[in-house]
Amino acid sequence: MKKINFKLGELFCGPGGIGLGASLAQAQNRAAYSISHAWATDYDYDTCETFRKNISPNKPETVLCADIRELDFEVLAEISEIDALAFGFPCNDFSMVGERKGVNGKYGPLYTYGVKALKLFKPKWFFAENVSGIRSANDGKSFNVILEALVNAGYKIYPHLYKFENYGIPQARHRVVIIGIRDDIEVNFQIPSVQPYKGFDISAKNAIENPPIPSGASNNEFTKQSTLVIERLKHIKPGENAFNAKIPEKLQLNVKGAKISQIYKRLDPNKPAYTVTGSGGGGTHVYHWKENRALTNRERARLQTFPDDFIFCGSKESVRKQIGMAVPPKGAKIIFDAVLSSFAKIQYPVTEQNIVPTLSLFEGKSQYIAKEK
């Protein structure tokens, strides 16, 4: 059987959630379609070490640890040509928590390096990911600027807000993923349906306990909880947080202004976990539904659908950040499977796209605007 493989380059690669999902994706018609790692880059040393160890252990030189603002893209071209590009550009300036400066912030403009790579390498397709808040940063103007730049780079784009818990992922994680297919390629992408994942047990308890985490599993160290935190957690029921639980006054948090709902929030064992983030301290570690403690990094990794043999490098704090910033591998695989099926001309269950870019004319200038359904 003929084999068609897409060599994938990654910017802002993270620890390997996208890379792992891509390596597991497949489609088969008259040919077998797959995706393989070509090169990847990220600015964080531990993150790059994690990626090397798990995604490219036999070719560590294909992972470059560098600030993308100083990286010579020609160096990437010398490593390998690519057929596809993935870039989960930093979300700090688009997150629902924070100032949400969008493309005017420190991290927002980093999407331009994804556009630069598209123009330079001209891959057949791309996968771009960011937080759901990207849609409304700067009153939606930032998202429109990004969409227009991707279209102008020569791609048909298919943005969609994926709610990963609807795809069998044991976590309420909502992310905008934009699939782009080069204009000169007669392939169209459709959003994979959630129907095949109905009835899955996506509870946090099932994800963490079934099967039990093996004794001696990596990244499974417990956090030393202070007496104060332990006493506070005793008064917080599953699904509650430090602000809606009945906590004695002496144990309450002295916080003015915004009260973030995930502070010292216990998981509900019968529901998907709330969003696992890369933040730490101040009660943001994600807390066990029964035991008076934060989750271990391995438990957090399970909620992110990383397999137990996926080893994260670095300190416990560094690993926590890597896990929280990653794309769930199983979620990425579902989307990559749909991309491969699209190229293989294989029909698969689809759903309606919920973000539709439309061309408008304003003062004589064309502008792409995202319309949500």
Instruction: Give the pairing type, strands 2-11 and 31-42.
Output: parallel
Do residues 12 and 40 make contact, with C-beta atoms less than 8 angstroms apart? no
CA atoms within 13 A on the CB side of 50: 32
Please give the backbone phi and psi of residue 85, each rounded to the nearest 5 degrees, phi first.
-135, 140
CA distance 105 to 130: 15
| 354-362 own/partner pairs: CB under 8 Å, 24+ apart | 354/160, 354/161, 354/191, 355/135, 355/159, 355/160, 355/161, 355/176, 357/147, 357/151, 357/157, 357/159
Active-site annotation, residues? 91
Torsion angle of the four alpha carbons 200, 201, 206, 208, in this order, in degrees rounded to the nearest 10? 50
DSSP 294: B
Contacts of 212 (CB under 8 A, 6+ apart): none
Other residues' Cβ atoms within 10 Å of the Cβ of residue 332: 29
CA distance 61 to 349: 39
Burial 195-205 (b: 16+ CB within 10 A, else e): eebeeeebbbb
Burial 12-28 (b: 16+ CB within 10 A, else e): bbbbbbbbbbbbebebe
